[in-house]
Chains A and B, each alone.
Chain A
């Protein structure tokens, strides 16, 4: 019984995270200015990381934790680079 509850709640959580990514993708395409698009790209990285963590809970495999950590680092670095580019017009001065 509790196993079924766990399976169902992880499935519902994955659907919610995919819906969140769809909202961000809509704003990414429609966003009026460049800073909205960078913000949504950063938030999509975090949502993808959470989705991979839930997949890790579902399969009880530790490899997904490392994938989530790598995605978090990549999202941070790319968002910083894009924000720097919006501010100064170049990334490395």
Chain B
């Protein structure tokens, strides 16, 4: 840990705050996963860690390496963009799979498929 002495105070403080914020958000998401009751509530919780948890830690890494190398280092943007693009895809697929499984087993905690038929179709409204 010798490079911490090379960082100017403002960069060290900014990196510390961003790392703590990111890790705290990830921990909050994990606690939410423990405490929520059903799967469809639980699927919201880890997104705290994947949105600003990842964003804050990637920003901290960018600040640290940019100041240490005295040039702009932005390759942590790759991780931030990748995680924020792929997490909704994963969770949407997973939630649809869970909904399909619940409907197949005819659990009562999900709305049945026939409840969508009461919504007026777009073609009917247009005519």
Contacts and interface: CB of A to CB of B under 8 A. Distances in A.
B39 A33 contact: yes
Interface string B18-37: 01101110110111011000
Interface in A5-35: 5-10, 12-14, 16-17, 19-24, 26-27, 33, 35
Contact of A3 (B5, B43, B58): B5
B122 interface: no
A35 B101 contact: yes
A87 B97 contact: yes
A93 to B, nearest CB: 15
Interface of A: 1-3, 5-10, 12-14, 16-17, 19-24, 26-27, 33, 35-36, 38-40, 42-43, 46-47, 49-50, 53-54, 56-58, 60, 62, 65, 68-69, 72-73, 76, 79-80, 83-84, 86-87
16 contacts: A2-B7, A5-B12, A6-B16, A9-B19, A13-B20, A16-B23, A20-B23, A20-B27, A20-B49, A46-B26, A49-B83, A60-B3, A60-B64, A72-B79, A80-B93, A87-B96
Interface of B: 1, 3-5, 7, 9, 12-13, 15-17, 19-20, 22-24, 26-27, 29-31, 33-34, 39, 42-43, 46, 49-50, 53-54, 57-58, 60-61, 64-65, 68, 75-76, 78-79, 82-83, 86-87, 89-91, 93-94, 96-98, 100-101
